[in-house]
Chain A
């Protein structure tokens, strides 16, 4: 019933940072940086 697409673009590289693992790492590092920043923010004005 479901068809597989002909123009499969799964292996296409991202336009930034060159590889998908790097893109994913960037997103996760950004999260870690935000949490650390917010933790400092909370403590600084507690």
Chain B
């Protein structure tokens, strides 16, 4: 990093932290601190929703995912607009009307305290862990670039977020998210433009698209139905719909965002606008990854994008094997260059495309085999089952090839995205802990001032917990998938509870509570014992709650009737 990069990075981060502290300086009570006095307009609600969802993981992993697996990941978001519409019609007016702070408060009025506490606890476990992952993601960026230890980087990142989240609450979080998203989207647009500009001068944008297509990187839509395939249109529409319904309807990190809207209209508009812009935004980020792939067809990529792992191989006595693989890659890359040029010419002339494509694919698969051998060496060295460098692809590209100043900005973007989602998550963890546990169960009769102070300390507590989780997050592989996989294990059950609450009036508290516990156990068992793609757990968990709750409700009713008749006889 140059001095200019450092200047841009420090200036951007300082600006956001100071702005956050300044914006949230006037918190008088819990309504101010947890919901920004329910005063925000729709565009802030929308960007705050997007900022909470799009963490650093989104900007680190997604381009890397497109580099390796193509753009099919975008299908994951197809269910989101459908969920935005359903929630705007159902959940938003109910939450506003009941004047709740958290989604789980509603469950007590519909069912009972234990169901409310169960849902809040599932949320706290899931969100607490995934917030740690969100802190870890940019820590690997900074540790790789600055040579800092991942541990200290996690601590620094966590403290930066805590600085304004603790003092400013929701208002600070939402207003900084607005600024953060503007900087992030502008920076990514510039990065995408420059990636295309960095291609050789004789390669047109159309050539780049055709090559990426031939390498199966522009595979946005996959119509084939396969429950074991993570990303196809069906898992995206159905699984993604249930996941989004649960994430936006029953996860306080999102419910808290739109509850801060000044009216039902402002909250609804925030959600609906998110439904309109989220998919194009994700497409754009993945497209950058596809273009980075094309770039690395013309410029030789490293054997493994995480250079720290490669250095470790040298240090641990694998130098000879690494050098042999490097030599193989050098030779194959030259052959691939030739095959690639032949393929591009064939596509331009529309002549001999099939043969050229075959040759290109043969060399590509040989290159891929070399990469697999490197990965196997690293696995052998580290004695682990899974090693990935997806999270390092975009970062490695940015630092090596983008101009001075922009590198600093993009690193700031990764940090900002992390801060944005972590701040939203910490805020929601605080809301749930203070409203659903502390105020409701532990200390019900304190003054507003005491609750405000407790909220600040709880934010600090969750911040420290997330940092501790971040220190162990490195063992999770692809972070984007890890977070979504973890969410899917819990979201289905939470959604099932809320669907019973909203739509199935005949199911009462006893049935939904034990139905949810049985469903959660079944989801865990299925996850350990079957290869079902994780998105489907959102559907399975939700349906299982309803399936279990119905017979329990019937037994309960029969037992009540029996008891009543016995009472009458007595």
Contacts and interface: CB of A to CB of B under 8 A. Distances in A.
Contact of A30 (B97, B212, B265, B276): B276
B54 interface: no
A35 B219 CA distance: 12
Contact of B280 (A12, A20, A28, A34): A34
A28 B81 contact: yes
Given A31-B78, A42-B221, A12 B269 contact: no
B209 A45 contact: yes
A10 B74 contact: no
A7 B264 CA distance: 10
A45 B233 CA distance: 18
A15 B96 CA distance: 19
A21 to B, nearest CB: 10
Interface in A22-46: 23-24, 26-28, 30-31, 34-35, 38-39, 41-42, 44-46
A27 B96 contact: no
Interface stretch (B105-113, B181-189, B476-484): B105-113
Contact of A2 (B100, B212, B269): B100
A35 B206 CA distance: 21
A42 B287 CA distance: 12
Contacts of B89: 20, 24
Nearest to B272: A27
B264 A27 contact: no
Contacts of A24: 85, 88-89, 272
Contact of A35 (B78, B100, B209): B78
A36 to B, nearest CB: 9
24 contacts: A2-B99, A3-B99, A4-B98, A4-B99, A5-B97, A8-B96, A8-B97, A9-B263, A13-B265, A20-B89, A23-B268, A23-B272, A24-B85, A24-B272, A27-B85, A27-B275, A30-B81, A30-B275, A31-B275, A35-B221, A38-B220, A41-B220, A45-B209, A46-B213
* Interface pairs A-B: 7 shortest CB-CB: A45-B213, A9-B263, A38-B220, A31-B81, A2-B98, A12-B265, A45-B218
